[in-house]
Structure 1
């Protein structure tokens, strides 16, 4: 995600398509085609504040409007000095280049970033090193309320002191000159630079934020390839190319996002949008090579894991045997084949396909109903298991076929009654951080290609409940994660992470369900439309022919 992402009741995983594929037809804003406008669908972002982004929908817009020292780009569009993994590259954004670390005598590591002199906010003000320092310290300020600063900035010396209210500034961020600054981390960590590509590290305009602290997000002033020109909640968002963008002006002039979409594929077939995700009701006809849409159909992998999570401090989920029983009672292969129609692959690990350390043939917990019944009978809650509530983000008529199928498996296989409760996504995220759910559905999408992004960020015991929603704690796991965080040998790091994952999977704070796929159709005149395995900003490269 860069981000946590809700499990969609109508599943298609392209990150930009967060509006449901079905529903009541609505009046469509801006449906006529223009040669310089790409027409897309989307959903209202939960936030346009980079420091507060936790979901893929918000991140998609924020990454086009803002930028930071470093960023991401598709491999086929990245400069030669980029650091690449598969189809994704880490690139210098407002920094002139990706710096090399300098090791200090106390074990810390320092990076000197030089800011490009041609970086300007959309308002025309030149960006400077002081803007970077302000933005990083603002993200770490407890008054900002960022849960992601703990995840993506905590390697920087002094961030957690600021985050916990023990310091007024971040000691590890120093302005050297008008266009250079030094960032010092608590150790040399292989993944650190990649984390600076997450929105929490993006640069905001101090003048705008301080002058209008509550309303600045309505007209955000970033340094990214597009600027926000129109935003009507529930209706539309319009982004226009930043004519002074320091990495090159976008090939397309305007992006029009319909936030009030009804049946998106119908709109696509009526030439009202240029790209559409595919819902389960339409996947078979789109995959049919005889169909008219098949020539425009694209299917690719997504580096994500959708799961059922448990707060292991809440009854009855504080019983590991009950959690194991619930996991063993889910027939994931049938789930993805019959219910999800192969728009996903069954997940048996926390790490998704494509992530270093992923093991395709490693399946420690597979469907075994007899074993599930035995474990349930051995749990401390048998035979009086409390009624279970499964909390699901969403507001549709149903929670979706996948969730309903899982609940039916628990009922038929284990005799457990499970109530499904849906909550609007923004409220769901807030309540989840406040530990109000014992069992919940979620997804985690890779922010950067390192196992730390999944295992350390979500299961290290010292992480706050806002991030370690399962409240999971295991000393052996913590020790392995501590070692992996600073291990410089790539193979040894992977081994350490796999050992940690083995313990996590055995104790079941998560039940991994499936890894999704990007499934969508694109009009033939749309060129360079790329959806990466992670959420990577790419719309500046799109062309209309």
Structure 2
């Protein structure tokens, strides 16, 4: 996501080689020849303990929310099953010779769920709304729309309009960006660029997403908060109509233990928890034939706030990077179901560096580094509070090996966790990131540029920022990828994060579920799914 900040416990579905590596291929369950066509039906999925964090595209900041938003809304462009940019509301676009002006022509049949035509004015309203500081702080648009001329001024409350947006007529609009950037179209696939209905927003007020009148393949049929969300086929959808009648997302108590629900035939697909993977993979188990495995363009890591003691000292950060045996974590704690991360970029992302050295735990070096830090000894370190994934493991190792006590805290509400993360309140925390689009900029720049809204460590290295500026406008692809590699190496040396692993999704899918695409960015679109029983 799509900017998608991901906790260990968030629904994961919704969730090697040279610099020009491509993502691992998506897995597609086709409808075999000779079988009858899908006749509607209801796909059932277990969502989680609570509702999606938001269904407002302008506020989409996590993978789960973005997944549902993609079913209800659409933008000018989209990513296909191969993660390549394709037309969506826009049927065509042209790019000026200098790479600064994008001219989009909307489809003649583009319309909202109520049948009203979508115009250039609707697109501009949606982009400007996404940059409206009255919606909140740390808006996703700061990451995904700031290339547009005037977007930053709008986000800062210094302008009422975005200067780089212009409607030529009802079906044609121009977007002017600040510099030629090869990844700009990819950024427009993020939900923050999706078109919303101004009439629905105004009429619905704070609860407008209850009946949002979107333009995606589905629309909301029923929503019993924290219990059930049902979306149904949008009969006014401008592309091929979804084959499913509806999708039911079980929430709360009804969604507990999805693995059991799947095996009992109560849901149609589910992510396999790591503890159950060996049993499911056993070839004597009938479930093995229903298992789909796809490496994800993701990074799970421990973040260290470089502005909060004791991690304001580089020596302490380096020491903590040597505290955990990351190979043991991936092979034992995660049952070997993931790939150990040696850097920031995952395999399959252009610019991935397979030659980065593996890390190892070294307690003697840990003690030496802390002694060399301005704190002088383990006893002089200030109190440390850890949040998120791997905090318990970190707590146990630190106390057993160093006699260092770390307090572990958590948040019941995912939205509260994200808000605290945005405020950079945590000394140390575990979290993850899954690609919004398959480009190194979405990792190296978005997570580590000084001042980026997704940079929750406070890291700000001028040398890295210069490399990122150069990469953003580089026209030669080999040069661009090399600049990102250089930036990655500096970041790893500065240790604002401790990379742990790159995820692999393991999804059980019932044999009658056809047309489901599981990509290296998870499931993006349910419109092609059908039930063939």
What TM-score do you get using the length of structure 1 for normalisation? 0.89
Return 380-389 or 517-526, whichever deviates more: 380-389
Aligned match of 2:216: 224
Aligned match of 1:352: 346
Cα pair 2:131 2:139 within 8 Å, conserved: no
For residues 314-393 of structure 1, the aligned pairs below 5 Å read 314-363=308-357, 365-383=359-377, 384-392=380-388
Cα pair 1:364 1:505 within 8 Å, conserved: no
Distance in structure 1 (CA, Å) of the matches to 2:405 and 2:341: 24
SS at match of 2:420: helix
Residue segments in structure 2 that go unaligned for 5+ positions in a row: 16-38
Cα pair 1:12 1:516 within 8 Å, conserved: no
Distance in structure 1 (CA, Å) of the matches to 2:135 and 2:148: 18
Aligned match of 1:20: none
1:301 shift after superposition = 0.5
SS at match of 2:274: coil
Distance in structure 1 (CA, Å) of the matches to 2:140 and 2:303: 19
Measured at CA, do residues 13 and 517 of structure 1 come closer, stay the same or move farther in structure 2, by a change above 3 Å? farther
Asked whether 1:470 is paired with 2:457, we answer: yes
Count residues with an aligned counterpart.
Answer: 501
1:177 shift after superposition = 0.2
SS at match of 1:96: strand
SS at match of 2:70: helix
Cα pair 1:311 1:438 within 8 Å, conserved: yes
Distance in structure 2 (CA, Å) of the matches to 1:420 and 1:426: 19
Asked whether 1:416 is paired with 2:404, we answer: yes
Return 428-437 or 156-165, whichever deviates more: 428-437
Distance in structure 1 (CA, Å) of the matches to 2:40 and 2:60: 32
Aligned match of 1:142: 133
Aligned match of 2:428: 439
Cα pair 1:148 1:200 within 8 Å, conserved: yes
For residues 161-172 of structure 1, the aligned pairs below 5 Å read 161-172=153-164
Aligned match of 1:512: 499
String of CA shifts for 1:356-391, please: whole Å, max 9, x gaps: 111223126433333222212211123211221101
Aligned match of 1:281: 275
1:535 shift after superposition = 4.1
String of CA shifts for 1:295-349, please: whole Å, max 9, x gaps: 1111110111011112111111100110111011111110011111122111121
Return 424-433 or 54-63, whichever deviates more: 424-433
CA RMSD between the two structures: 1.6
Cα pair 2:70 2:525 within 8 Å, conserved: no
Distance in structure 2 (CA, Å) of the matches to 1:188 and 1:516: 32
Asked whether 1:96 is paired with 2:101, we answer: no
Return 345-354 or 133-142, whichever deviates more: 345-354
Aligned match of 1:203: 195
SS at match of 1:212: helix
Aligned match of 1:13: 12
1:124 shift after superposition = 1.8
Aligned match of 2:527: 540
Aligned match of 2:32: none
Structure 1 stretches of at least 4 aligned residues deviating more than 4 Å after TM superposition: none
Measured at CA, do residues 219 and 238 of structure 1 come closer, stay the same or move farther in structure 2, by a change above 3 Å? same
Return 56-65 or 35-44, whichever deviates more: 35-44
Cα pair 2:40 2:245 within 8 Å, conserved: no
String of CA shifts for 1:199-225, please: whole Å, max 9, x gaps: 000000011112222110111111011
SS at match of 2:179: coil
Q: Pick from 388, 397, 404: which aligns with 2:392?
A: 404
Asked whether 1:502 is paired with 2:502, we answer: no
Measured at CA, do residues 12 and 405 of structure 1 come closer, stay the same or move farther in structure 2, by a change above 3 Å? farther
What TM-score do you get using the length of structure 2 for normalisation? 0.91
String of CA shifts for 1:136-185, please: whole Å, max 9, x gaps: 01111111226211100000000001111111100000000011100000
For residues 448-487 of structure 1, the aligned pairs below 5 Å read 448-463=437-452, 466-487=453-474
SS at match of 2:433: strand
Residue segments in structure 1 that go unaligned for 5+ positions in a row: 17-33, 75-86, 393-398
Aligned match of 1:4: 4
Cα pair 1:14 1:517 within 8 Å, conserved: no
1:510 shift after superposition = 0.8
